[in-house]
Amino acid sequence: MPPMEDALLHHLHNKVVHLPIVLAPVALMLLLMERRRPGAGAGAPWLIAAAALAGWIAFFAGRAQAGAFDDGPKEWLVGIHENWGTAAAIALSAWAALALWPPARRRLWLAGLVATAVVFAAAFYGGLVAHG
């Protein structure tokens, strides 16, 4: 087994990327539950902020790993994944910004629907890169 620091930091993208994939749909579900049960979405802004932060960490960690695919058969696929990943980080950040704006809170779930869909698209292409 490698030293713990190496195990945690080597291929950081592959580890951090799971956070926005999980946090975004959970936050969206809480916001949807809020429509029927007031107070259910109280934690959603924190989850959205965490998803946005993790999205940017994944973005920069992914950029650092992308060179391993240069001139390889998956280079074009990594490019598509990178474009969707960039869009996901931006969409999550916009969602987090809207969560801070009280007039937007009533329809915050709509922004979450878009952001989560973009995250899932990025995840789909990332899965193709990693697993074929």
Provide the residue-wise pLDDT of the chain in tens; the chain has 132 residues: 888 877 777 788 999 999 999 999 999 999 999 999 999 999 999 999 999 999 999 999 999 999 889 999 999 999 999 999 999 999 999 999 999 999 998 899 999 999 999 999 999 999 999 998
pLDDT of residue 6: 73
Model confidence pTM above 0.95: no
Cα–chain center distance at 10:
19
Q: How many residues does the chain have?
A: 132
106 φψ region: left (φ > 0), alpha (ψ -120 to 50), beta (else): alpha
Distance CA 37, CA 30 (A): 10
* H helical segments located in the chain: 4-9, 12-16, 18-34, 44-65, 75-99, 108-131
Distance CA 104, CA 116 (A): 17
